[in-house]
């Protein structure tokens, strides 16, 4: 692909279109991050035991969430390709089958969250934390079906090139969670005090509010009326559900592989001591905030690439991908520069502990290093999803994160005694390998699409 085929006026318009599509998605991810922040603030002020219980519970909630979230995103690529091909009549029936898949995944998630609490002592969780974590998980599990239904509706909307509801309903959830979580945790406004369980109840209520709000919006919106999304009741059909699973399940596993890499890294660093664990948590939290932009751009790129493929526009497909890369590289340059030159000031916002601050500042320098590979790998993954190429990227992710990154990080950090710095070198290697392999995979697959 030559530079002249990319740097055209049409490429500039594609950059603007991708940016406008991505901005609400980025803000939607920010709202999700703020929900976690609100949980921690409410729990932390209630007591150390409550904060520990919610921290453990939230970690165990995220683990089964990753696969449904990743699997259902296959709907985005399918809808965008159908719309690009002018086959809008097929979107409604596909969506109704996706709802059945979402309910099934929600039921599996509910079962996992029900089975985990008795195993907490086996995992080595302290005895004083187990009751609160168990109560949180038993409460929040009731929101599982609502969560998967919400993501199903969200991915439909995004596939139709409409991302504003994701942002608005995301912040709407924050408006519900903050006062309700406070009331149920502390026993205010006539409610009994429930501690960690109260935050679990509030989180489940928020999930149902978001799902119902999105459903009502899709039902009443003129934008979606031509699709007849709820015009009839369809029983589950094997073929479309299996097709969604063939495309989506590898995405879910890929998301789990990357998320699991960071979760296991945190657990291993936690064995090194409280200072190391606290410093790592600060650096990871900052890195996650930086990741919001490339993640939102990658999701927008999935839609833009999928739509171009659907209408048979290979030049548009190239423009969509390269527009995503251009935006991500600019954003990651800004993030890397901020971490490189402002790491000390950023850490000062989190802690006054000199030992924690010194180590966290060092880790933020490592975080600055992996901004570029992290952005490239997630953008490449988004572009590949637009092409509905998901199986090979799953194996590439497993190789990068668990074949290279984790073994090296564990060997350097624990085996050679390099501590958190060694574990972060493993993260950098894993993300760099994923960036190279995913980028090359997109190059190969996109060339096949270009063939007559």
Note the pLDDT tens digit of each residue in 62-86: 878 888 988 999 999 899 999 988 8
What is the model's pLDDT at position 9?
Answer: 67
pLDDT tens across 177-205, in order? 999 999 999 999 888 889 889 999 999 99
Mean pLDDT of the chain: 88
Per DSSP, the three-state class of 43 is helix
Residue count of the chain: 452
**Distance between CA atoms of 165 and 117, rounded to whole angstroms?**
34
**Distance between CA atoms of 104 and 148, rounded to whole angstroms?**
9
- How large is the average pLDDT for residues 332-353? 88
pLDDT tens across 304-324, in order? 999 999 888 888 898 999 999
**Distance between CA atoms of 396 and 379, rounded to whole angstroms?**
15
What is the model's pLDDT at position 196?
Answer: 87
**Distance between CA atoms of 220 and 223, rounded to whole angstroms?**
9
Per DSSP, the three-state class of 367 is helix
Residue 237 vs residues 80, 93, 97, 152, 155: alpha-carbon distances, Å: 21, 10, 7, 17, 20
Give which of 437, 320, 441, 329 is closest to 384, Cα–Cα.
441
Structure confidence at residue 351 as a pLDDT band (50, 70, 90): confident
What is the model's pLDDT at position 8?
Answer: 63
- Are 365 and 343 in contact by the 8 Å Cβ rule? The answer is yes
**Distance between CA atoms of 80 and 352, rounded to whole angstroms?**
48
- Are 423 and 413 in contact by the 8 Å Cβ rule? The answer is yes
What is the model's pLDDT at position 60?
Answer: 81
pLDDT tens across 364-378, in order? 999 999 899 999 999
What is the model's pLDDT at position 301?
Answer: 94
Angle at 208 between CA 73 and CA 72, to 5 degrees: 10
Q: Among 230-234, 413-417, 435-439, name the most confident range.
A: 435-439
What is the model's pLDDT at position 78?
Answer: 92
Per DSSP, the three-state class of 417 is coil
What is the model's pLDDT at position 3?
Answer: 47
pLDDT tens across 389-433, in order? 999 999 999 999 999 999 999 999 888 888 889 999 999 999 999
Structure tokens at 36: 């976690």
Give which of 241, 227, 388, 245 is closest to 307, Cα–Cα.
388
Burial of residue 119, with CB atoms counted within 10 A of its CB: 0-12 exposed, 13-18 middle, 19 or more buried: exposed
What is the model's pLDDT at position 450?
Answer: 62
HSE (side-chain half, CA atoms, 13 Å) at 263: 16
pLDDT(108) > 60: yes
For the chain, the structural domain boundaries read: 32-236, 239-452
HSE (side-chain half, CA atoms, 13 Å) at 78: 26
Residue 28 vs residues 23, 242, 404: alpha-carbon distances, Å: 9, 29, 32
Give which of 126, 180, 161 is closest to 304, Cα–Cα.
161
pLDDT(4) > 60: no
**Distance between CA atoms of 256 and 242, rounded to whole angstroms?**
20
């Amino acid at each position: 692909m030559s530079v002249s085929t990319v740097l055209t006026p049409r490429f500039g318009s594609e950059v603007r279109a991708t940016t406008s599509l991505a901005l609400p998605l980025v803000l939607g991810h920010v709202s999700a991050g703020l929900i976690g922040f609100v949980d921690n603030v409410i729990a932390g002020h209630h007591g150390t035991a409550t904060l520990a219980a919610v921290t453990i519970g939230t970690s165990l909630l995220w683990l089964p969430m990753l696969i449904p979230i990743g699997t259902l995103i296959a709907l985005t690529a399918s809808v965008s390709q159908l719309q690009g091909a002018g086959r809008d009549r097929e979107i409604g029936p596909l969506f109704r089958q996706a709802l059945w898949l979402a309910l099934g995944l929600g039921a599996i998630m509910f079962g996992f969250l029900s089975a985990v609490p008795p195993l907490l002592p086996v995992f080595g969780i302290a005895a004083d934390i187990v009751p609160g974590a168990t109560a949180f998980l038993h409460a929040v599990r009731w929101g599982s079906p609502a969560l998967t239904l919400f993501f199903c509706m969200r991915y439909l909307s995004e596939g139709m090139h409409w991302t504003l509801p994701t942002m608005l309903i995301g912040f709407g959830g924050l408006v519900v969670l903050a006062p309700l979580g406070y009331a149920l945790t502390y026993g205010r406004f006539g409610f009994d005090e429930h501690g960690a369980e109260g935050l679990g109840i509030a989180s489940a209520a928020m999930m149902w509010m978001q799902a119902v709000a999105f459903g009502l919006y899709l039902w009443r919106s003129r934008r979606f009326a031509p699709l007849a999304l709820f015009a009839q009741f369809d029983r589950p059909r094997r073929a479309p559900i299996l097709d969604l699973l063939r495309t989506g399940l590898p995405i879910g596993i890929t998301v789990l592989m990357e998320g699991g890499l960071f979760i296991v890294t945190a657990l291993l660093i936690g064995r090194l001591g409280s200072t190391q664990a606290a410093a790592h948590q600060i650096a990871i939290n900052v890195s996650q905030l930086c990741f919001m932009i490339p993640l939102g751009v990658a999701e927008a790129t999935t839609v833009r690439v999928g739509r171009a493929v659907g209408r048979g526009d290979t030049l548009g497909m190239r423009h969509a991908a390269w527009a995503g890369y251009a935006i991500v590289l600019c954003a990651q340059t800004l993030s890397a520069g901020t971490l490189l030159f402002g790491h000390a000031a950023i850490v000062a916002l989190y802690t006054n502990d000199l030992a924690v601050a010194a180590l966290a500042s060092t880790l933020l320098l490592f975080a600055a290093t992996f901004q570029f590979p992290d952005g490239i790998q997630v953008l490449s993954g988004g572009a590949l999803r637009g092409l509905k190429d998901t199986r090979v990227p799953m194996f590439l992710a497993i190789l990068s994160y668990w074949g290279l990154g984790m073994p090296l990080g564990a060997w350097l950090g624990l085996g050679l005694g390099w501590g958190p710095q060694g574990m972060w070198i493993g993260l950098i290697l894993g993300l760099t390998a994923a960036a190279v392999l995913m980028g090359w995979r997109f190059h190969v697959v996109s060339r096949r699409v270009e063939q007559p």
